[in-house]
Structure 1
Amino acid sequence: MPGNPREFLAVFRYSRRALELVWRTSRPLTLVLAVFTLLAGVLPAAVAWVGALIIDAVVAAAGVYRETGVVEAQPVMLLVAVEGALVGALAGAQRALSASQSLLRAQLGQRVNEMILEKALQLDLAQFEDAEFYDKLTRARREASSRPLSLVTRTFGLAQNGISLVSYGVLLAQFSGWAVLLLVLAGLPSFLAEAKFSGDAFRLFRWRSPETRMQMYLETVLAREDHAKEVQLFALGPRLLDRYRAIFRKLYREDRNLTLRRDGWGFVFGLVGTVTLYGAYAWVAFTTIAGRITLGQMTMYMMLFRQGQAAVSASLSAISGMYEDNLYLSTLYEYLETPVAPRTGELSQGPDPADGIRFEQVSFTYPGAETPALRDIDLHIRPGESLALVGENGAGKTTLIKLLAGLYTPTAGRILLDGLDLREWDPEALRRRIGVIFQDFARYQFTVGENIGAGDVSHFEDEARWEQAADQGMALPFIETLPGRFDTQLGKWFKDGRELSGGQWQKIALARAFMRSGADILVLDEPTAAMDAAAEAKIFEHFRQLTRDRIAILISHRFSTVRMADQIVVIDGGRIVERGSHAELMALDGIYARLFSLQARGYR
């Protein structure tokens, strides 16, 4: 439990938001939950009260029978019928509570997951590449999606038990006001222990998020088809499984220690409640023997003590649980309140369409990195021109493309399209202008057509556009051989899925880039790495013909295709160190000429 009551109460600030979330998810079910919670709170005390009347009525009827020999059973039978009706109503209320909670749980779980995913769509690429953010996302998805309903259920349960306690207290007060106080105080030790260990469990949950994420990743590596080849070939399975087990053992030790401490202290403090209960029983029994209360009242008070203690314990447990739920909800709202960079751009065209793309003294450093990925980049590409980016892995080529696509913002300098700074462009308008295939393109476990249609969501299901884009991406010939053509399921995750070769997947990705028929900037980032040199040359010759009036940017390590570009830029250490045509760079006899000669020697 936190060090002071104010800190403890501050944790409950998420309760109102959780209640609002449940109310917005389903108002009818929330109202049903509230009504039947009220009934379930009142009915137990009514059953106990009628039970006492039955016992006293039976005692009175037995006395009349001994004196007169006449059986007066009608009042007793009437009271039995009333109690039966109350018990039936209580069972119905509890069933209705269970049903409404089950339905609400399904709707609320879906709503919270939608909120998590909707937030993910608003975030920047840099946030997805941040390990701390991923821990935050993991915590939100693993626990927080179930906590709002848990919190609301406990809130209603607290209300139900509170109502029951008030009704029990009214009846117990007729016996003794001290009995009511004793009933409440007996449950406090157990509550304090539960609150403390709830806080400990949450702090443990936050601390070990990276280990949990690693365990999930190891599950993926061991059980996914895209890792299976290397796992089997390199005999990685046993080693990775041992690491998976080691993480479990570490997490289990922590859970075991917490569980033993929690349940051990829970048992000790539970004994306090048990001693209190039987002390109250002895008190009531002594009072009955002394003739101060009737046998029926004794039965009722004993039942009230037992049910009252259960209600106090449940109420305090609900408060402790609500405290724990609020702790976990903090991870959900911490994620949902992750700051998002404001979208300042609103313009959809620039003042000078003939100017093309300009990089002016552009530098960029990844968040958390010390060394810039790009330094002082100056570059100009006019419409109708093609540019090839050359450099070693890690030189900054793909980073430059991410900046151009608006996935990152330069830390210095600016990028202009049609004479307008990218920061002033509307993000959607900018991205409609650009068709990109990255070297780590996605392989969606969708149909062929949907894989291609993903390149332009406004035509996601347009079969005519699929076919046109597939033809431009040179994927149509092999698609025609598939059993369902564009309706063929790809990948192995779903039934009847077909796996493609690396080159075929790259043609699908190339077709995806051509889906944006309105895009006048086409970027190919190592798009043919899985193809042989002849196939790559054929694709790029085809690509040049299709992009005569567009800006084409190519990243490739194969200089036989790079030499086709109008302008070649060599990037080294994040800087442009050489630029020019193939002939100019060969005459310069610098980095490009050396790399070209090395590669050409390999083909001799």
Structure 2
Amino acid sequence: MRKTFQAFRELMRIGFGAAPWHATMQFLTGIMFEISVPIGGLGAKLIVDAAVSGDLRIGLGSAVLLGLTVGAALASVFYYVHCLFTVQERAQAAAGRRLMRLIGGAEGLTHYEHPEYLDQVQRIREQQGQLSGMVNATAGVLRVGATLAVTAVLLARVDPLLLCLPVLAVVSFWLGKLSRDVAVRAQEATSEPERLRRHLFELGTSTAAAGELRVYGLTGLIGDRHRTAAGAVVGRRNRASRRGAALQAVDAVVTAGGYLAAIALVLLRAVHHQATAGDVVLVLGLAAQLSSTVGTAVRYGTYFLTVLKVGRRLVWLQEYVAGERRTPERPAVLPAALAKGIELRGVGFGYPGAEDGRGVLDGVDLHLPPGAVVALVGDNGAGKTTLIKLLCGFYRPTAGRILVDGVDLAECDTEQWRARCSGAFQDHARLEFSVLETVGVGDLPHLADRAAVGAALERGDAAGVVDKLPDGLDTRLGARWDDGAELSGGQWQRLALARGLMRTEPLLTVFDEPTAALDAHTENALFERFAAAARTGRQRSTVTLLVSHRFSTVGMADLIIVLDGGRIREQGSHQDLMAAGGLYAELFELQSRGYR
């Protein structure tokens, strides 16, 4: 119950926070419009009774009442529709921003390995539009409640037995809830197949995969698998729809029976002079309208519960993200510069749900000296990228500790630590902003600092890329925009490198194969520049960590770490490791043969 109330409060906060005036008026005008129908029925009753009794004064007064009611209803409905769409539009934008902050604001990356998290996010994405609907759903429920209350009073004045008509709304609501529950269960049961279907669709329509799909003739295979996944989703959800339609048919029969019984009762009373002709007209109008009102009650009631269900998922996501934040109340202070360096003691890590129960890293003991250029070497799957993610705070070790000048990284503020890190990665983001912003986001305080961005472009050897663009730093990137310029893979990578070099005083700089799209000579020249910059900046004591499969690049590092099966196999300088004749020397020799 607590979470349900919390979900309701959060969703109402989204609507009223986005458009407070329009949300308030949506409630008021909706109720005014809805109760105009039974009040109009009362006016019609009074006019008929006045006509039968020959009372002109009451007849004219009732006609005025009816006219004012119709006029108020028309004015209300037009403004209600305006408020409805305004609240929906603004609340939808606010809900989208909330989701972006939640999904993108989790402290680490571990949640991307949890199927439960992925399923919940998939369900929220599927029903994202519902997050903006709580104001509308609540206004609809209140409208229906006001209509039923006024209708019940008018019917009870004719005959208390007619109060059974509003009671039918409860039966209809229950049947509508059953229909909604069937649909929700089908949606939840098909979350994973739906994720697969979306993945296959994106794969089959993306530009990035188009070449491989055609070269290998995979378009048919992807299409067949998409058809199978979609069939599983659509089949289950269609069966749920048919069951829901059957329940709605039962609801229609019950409502029709109640309507006929009410008409029969009031006619019987009129025949025995226990009701007036106006009462017959009133009950006819109210009973007919009640059928529509019951349908509206079911629609808004089930809509309310659906939105509330999505709201509970939003609350779950908020609590999950909050639970992922492990920054202590009084975080340790990070050093301005490294004196001892970065140390790993018995560090182990395993991804959640690993079938073999083995960790990617196991018992890693390592010291990264301040001011050193350190290279990570090893076969694919040796744990190089995982180690970098641990050092950047994307994951927390499942065993052991990471110490920064003797301070446990787990006791530090994660965001503050990341603000002292910098780097570039192989799977870099293609930010389709202006060049100035695409590079400048690497150091947000200097986002619009043209001099700082220009210096980073020089350090990343990317100034030549900008020189060829029509508007220089102000060029919009991305071919999907009218004024956008598309870049090659190597050009995007150079800008990513420049972005990673925006921060001038990090404690840790990482380069995780950021030059994979560049040739060996270009990579070697770039890393020589990075290493030289790192060594001239030893007063900052920055640890520069690089990963590359090209040993000509790795050889320039001060310290080379050889990972094998999640453990450190060897470490030392290039000369030391070659003299030892171990795994590093073997790998170096194998690669060097290709250049002979």
Cα distance, 1:123 vs. partner? 3.5
Q: Helix, strand or coil for the counterpart of 1:603?
A: coil
Residues 1:575 and 2:567 are matched in the alignment: yes
Residues 1:50 and 2:43 are matched in the alignment: yes
* C-alpha separation in 1, matches of 2:241 and 2:29: 34
Distance verdict in 2 for CA 1:37–1:563, change over 3 Å:
same
Aligned equivalent of 2:448: 461
Cα distance, 1:56 vs. partner? 2.5
Aligned match for 1:360, one of 345, 355, 361: 345
Q: 1:260-312, CA deviations, whole angstroms, 9 ceiling, x for partnerless residues? A: 22212322331222122123222322332333333222211211222234334
Within a 5 Å distance, the mapping from 1:187-202 to structure 2 comes to 187-202=169-184
Residues 1:432 and 2:393 are matched in the alignment: no
Aligned equivalent of 2:307: 325
Distance verdict in 2 for CA 1:15–1:401, change over 3 Å:
closer
Aligned match for 1:248, one of 184, 205, 230: 230
Distance verdict in 2 for CA 1:547–1:15, change over 3 Å:
closer
Amino acid at match of 1:268: V
Residues 1:171 and 2:127 are matched in the alignment: no
Aligned match for 1:138, one of 112, 122, 125: 122
* C-alpha separation in 2, matches of 1:10 and 1:452: 42
Residues 1:603 and 2:595 are matched in the alignment: yes
Amino acid at match of 1:39: M
Amino acid at match of 1:415: I
The answer on whether the counterparts of 1:140 and 1:335 sit within 8 Å (CA) in structure 2 is: no
Q: 1:495-533, CA deviations, whole angstroms, 9 ceiling, x for partnerless residues? A: 243332332222211111110012243221112222222
* C-alpha separation in 2, matches of 1:148 and 1:499: 36
Distance verdict in 2 for CA 1:542–1:194, change over 3 Å:
same
Distance verdict in 2 for CA 1:269–1:505, change over 3 Å:
closer
* C-alpha separation in 2, matches of 1:17 and 1:481: 49
Aligned equivalent of 2:581: 589
Distance verdict in 2 for CA 1:75–1:429, change over 3 Å:
closer
Residues 1:528 and 2:520 are matched in the alignment: no
Cα distance, 1:82 vs. partner? 3.1
Q: 1:132-189, CA deviations, whole angstroms, 9 ceiling, x for partnerless residues? A: 312211212221x3335534323322222222222222222222111112x1343444
Cα distance, 1:593 vs. partner? 0.9
Cα distance, 1:21 vs. partner? 4.3
Residues 1:383 and 2:370 are matched in the alignment: yes
* C-alpha separation in 2, matches of 1:14 and 1:359: 42
Residues 1:27 and 2:12 are matched in the alignment: no
The answer on whether the counterparts of 2:42 and 2:282 sit within 8 Å (CA) in structure 1 is: yes
Q: 1:541-560, CA deviations, whole angstroms, 9 ceiling, x for partnerless residues? A: 21122111242222111111
Residues 1:126 and 2:110 are matched in the alignment: yes
Q: Helix, strand or coil for the counterpart of 1:353?
A: coil
Distance verdict in 2 for CA 1:526–1:148, change over 3 Å:
closer
* C-alpha separation in 2, matches of 1:351 and 1:419: 14
Distance verdict in 2 for CA 1:23–1:530, change over 3 Å:
closer
The answer on whether the counterparts of 2:158 and 2:279 sit within 8 Å (CA) in structure 1 is: no
Distance verdict in 2 for CA 1:352–1:262, change over 3 Å:
closer
The answer on whether the counterparts of 1:432 and 1:518 sit within 8 Å (CA) in structure 2 is: no
Cα distance, 1:381 vs. partner? 2.4
Distance verdict in 2 for CA 1:353–1:171, change over 3 Å:
closer
Report the more deviating stretch, 90-99 or 145-154.
145-154
Distance verdict in 2 for CA 1:579–1:22, change over 3 Å:
same
Aligned equivalent of 2:464: 477
* C-alpha separation in 1, matches of 2:489 and 2:302: 55
Aligned match for 1:277, one of 259, 277, 285: 259
Aligned match for 2:545, one of 543, 553, 558: 553
Instruction: With the length of structure 2 as denominator, give the TM-score of the two structures.
Output: 0.92
The answer on whether the counterparts of 2:460 and 2:501 sit within 8 Å (CA) in structure 1 is: yes
Aligned match for 2:504, one of 517, 520, 529: 517
Amino acid at match of 1:287: R
* C-alpha separation in 2, matches of 1:476 and 1:154: 55
Amino acid at match of 2:225: R
Aligned equivalent of 2:286: 304
The answer on whether the counterparts of 1:348 and 1:430 sit within 8 Å (CA) in structure 2 is: no
The answer on whether the counterparts of 1:155 and 1:322 sit within 8 Å (CA) in structure 2 is: yes
The answer on whether the counterparts of 2:266 and 2:279 sit within 8 Å (CA) in structure 1 is: no
* C-alpha separation in 1, matches of 2:237 and 2:88: 26
The answer on whether the counterparts of 1:360 and 1:377 sit within 8 Å (CA) in structure 2 is: yes
* C-alpha separation in 1, matches of 2:339 and 2:442: 26
* C-alpha separation in 2, matches of 1:313 and 1:230: 52
Residues 1:342 and 2:326 are matched in the alignment: yes
Cα RMSD, aligned residues only = 2.4
Distance verdict in 2 for CA 1:489–1:233, change over 3 Å:
farther
Larger radius of gyration: 1
> What is the number of equivalent residue pairs in this alignment?
585
Distance verdict in 2 for CA 1:540–1:98, change over 3 Å:
same
Aligned match for 2:555, one of 563, 576, 580: 563
Q: Helix, strand or coil for the counterpart of 1:359?
A: strand
Q: 1:424-456, CA deviations, whole angstroms, 9 ceiling, x for partnerless residues? A: 333333223322112212222222222211211
Aligned match for 1:315, one of 297, 312, 323: 297
The answer on whether the counterparts of 2:341 and 2:405 sit within 8 Å (CA) in structure 1 is: yes
* C-alpha separation in 2, matches of 1:361 and 1:243: 44
Distance verdict in 2 for CA 1:479–1:13, change over 3 Å:
closer
Distance verdict in 2 for CA 1:569–1:306, change over 3 Å:
same
Cα distance, 1:11 vs. partner? 6.2
Aligned equivalent of 2:213: 231
Distance verdict in 2 for CA 1:116–1:165, change over 3 Å:
same
* C-alpha separation in 1, matches of 2:445 and 2:214: 41
Cα distance, 1:98 vs. partner? 1.9
Cα distance, 1:386 vs. partner? 1.4
* C-alpha separation in 1, matches of 2:336 and 2:518: 40
* C-alpha separation in 1, matches of 2:7 and 2:548: 52
The answer on whether the counterparts of 2:10 and 2:311 sit within 8 Å (CA) in structure 1 is: no
Cα distance, 1:13 vs. partner? 7.0
